[in-house]
Chains A and B, each alone.
Chain A
Amino acid sequence: MRITQGCFSFLPDLTDEQVTAQVEYCLGRNWAIGIEYTDSPHPRNTYWEMWGHPMFDLKDAKGVMMELAEARKAHGDSYIRLNAFDSTRGFETVTMSFIVNRPKVEPKIELTRTDIRGRSQRYSWKVA
């Protein structure tokens, strides 16, 4: 099952050249790029593992791509995403996020229904 989190999941997987262009777009706006990875694409899994801190002082997309290559070497069969952080007052959060690596076989997410009252259900999800 193709997880469709992030900005570009409905497009064919981005090439490194395409990823570089997006990174340049972010750096051009003074957003810091952070690399994160996980094996659990649960919809509420906010905190993926950080591959180091967001790269605040980096100005060259090549640096991000080198880090990404390292992250892929270590976690090639996990999800990896790039997050861009905007520190402008009133935003101060992730401003862009897209998946740049996927496991060969993506997991399924199972829906569990629990009766609460009448026909009401409590729903939960589990990554299979």
Chain B
Amino acid sequence: MTSDAKTEIKGKERYKAGVLKYAQMGYWNGDYVPKDTDLLALFRITPQDGVDEIEAAAAVAGESSTATWTVVWTDRLTASDQYRAKAYRVEPVPGQPGQFFCWVAYDLILFEPGSIANLTASIIGNVFSFKPLKAARLEDMRLPTAYVTTYKGPPTGIVVERERLDKFGKPLLGATTKPKLGLSGKNYGRVVYEGLKGGLDFMKDDENINSQLFMHWRDRFLYCMEAVNKATAETGEVKGHYLNITAGTMEEMYRRAEFAHELGSVIVMVDLIVGWTAIQSISEWCRQHDMILHMHRAGHGTYTRQKNHGISFRVISKWLRLAGVDHLHTGTSVGKLEGDPMTVQGFYNICREGKNEVDLQRGLFFEQPWADLAKVMPVASGGIHAGQMHQLLDMFGDDVVLQFGGGTIGHPMGIQAGAQANRVALEAMVLARNEGRDIKNEGPEILRKAAKWCKPLESALDTWGNITFNYASTDTSDFVPTPSVAM
């Protein structure tokens, strides 16, 4: 591409009817210095063969802000140079021929305050279908303080959740009720009771348990709350069950939320597939009802997993912290689902830090201020078991919910024993870490020692101790060799 084609045309020529390159229309400016109040986006783009990467980057900036395919004179009625997003940097992706990182800056005025729906309609509205690109991925965003403060964020947050539950100093433990489909309300509540009495803090509905013919949602809520309250009496601990209130309409979601509240539940849950507006609405409801909001990221793998196209989960995490959820499934690294350890730690940092620093190895491309917004409790769930406790604690620290579904309910001595095994493994590991032991290396020995006096733990280690899901990850950093989690 000639330098003329990359240079903004100014004056009368700029508005002659017809078609110009996006760069010529002013959507590329290699000298642009982003303002502190700009929203910044980093896209990974794969231009079609023969399409110049700078023009492709300009097109992304254009199509996600003011541009259309041709010149329009009505631009001249506005301060259009400020409304135009500006691609300001393009670099080849290391080790990925044909892919480029492009940085785009957006003026704050382009976005409605406090609306993820509005933000996403701009940033991911059109560009991902744009013909001159083979593929595009939104890798990361910098949301300026001025924008962050237009959101309320998590209705509860890590600090207040812990105060309400009166649980401090170690990860929380949970499990998803299994089988996820088919149990009657009474049978379902039995699983919940056994898990909670055995030592878990939370039990959980799975993403697709709503109100099917085998179990009406009210039945589930009634039996689960009986289980929660009975287990609380048996242990002296505050317990909870994530009641999934996901439904076909917002009206029905509110109806289910109200019933959960009436029954004294401390927590409700929705699936990511309900959409941004529903999430922000239910978050507001939770704020008004002292309710913790658990977010199950159902569906995200359709657009977060492949590196060449879609949206990174780190961006989804940022949007969800703004939109306001209290729990968020962010991966396990060691479990059955996709998750490169460094990339997953990046998601955890987005959920939990007061400010994110640039950390390319963890996939964080921008400094991200959080302006004292409450923190989101990450949830590690999917194919994890007691034998991995040292790795989980080492990777994720204390502020996380560790969820062992199969690893609790599938225990050979029963559900209570499964829960007890997980709880003993966790407490033994936290104790050892605090004593200064090197749990990463001494973990298996610490677990075996606890198993000497705790039969259920011994049995769990005998059953699952050697189970690993050691596959290469798909969604990885481009800046480091990718470690797997071989033990």
Contacts and interface: CB of A to CB of B under 8 A. Distances in A.
Contact of A43 (B226, B238, B428): B238
A3 B168 contact: no
A3 B230 CA distance: 14
Contacts of A84: 168-169
Interface stretch (B112-120, B360-368, B419-427): B419-427
Given A11-B427, A123-B225, A22 B234 contact: no
Contacts of A91: 159
Contacts of A44: 238
B162 interface: yes
B461 interface: no
Nearest to B232: A43
A14 B430 CA distance: 13
B199 A93 contact: no
Nearest to A88: B354
B170 interface: yes
Nearest to B165: A43
A1 to B, nearest CB: 7
A47 B271 CA distance: 36
Contacts, number: 107
B237 A25 contact: no
B166 A43 contact: yes
Contact of A122 (B222, B264, B423, B436): B264
B18 interface: no
A109 B233 CA distance: 5
Specify which of A14, A46, A111 lies most central, judged by the most chain B CB atoms within 10 Å of its CB.
Answer: A111
B235 A111 contact: no
A46 B166 contact: yes
B431 A22 contact: yes
Contact of B236 (A4, A89, A95): A4
Chain B: number of interface residues, binned into ranges? 35 or more
B163 interface: yes
A111 B230 contact: yes
Given A3-B235, A10-B423, A44-B238, A25 B159 contact: no
B434 interface: yes
A27 B163 CA distance: 21
A7 interface: yes
Given A7-B430, A25-B435, A121-B226, A98 B233 contact: no
A86 B431 CA distance: 18
Contact of A90 (B235, B375, B423): B375
Contact of A7 (B170, B229, B236): B170
B263 interface: yes
Interface in B145-199: 159, 162-163, 166, 168-170, 199
Given A95-B168, A97-B169, A10 B235 contact: no
7 contacts: A4-B236, A8-B427, A41-B236, A43-B232, A84-B169, A116-B262, A120-B222
Interface of A: 1, 3-5, 7-12, 14, 18, 21-22, 25, 41-44, 46, 83-84, 89-98, 109-111, 116, 119-123, 125
Q: List the 4 closest A-B pairs by CB distance, nearest first.
A: A96-B169, A3-B236, A123-B229, A111-B233
Given A121-B226, A123-B229, 5 more contacts: A8-B430, A46-B166, A90-B159, A110-B233, A121-B222
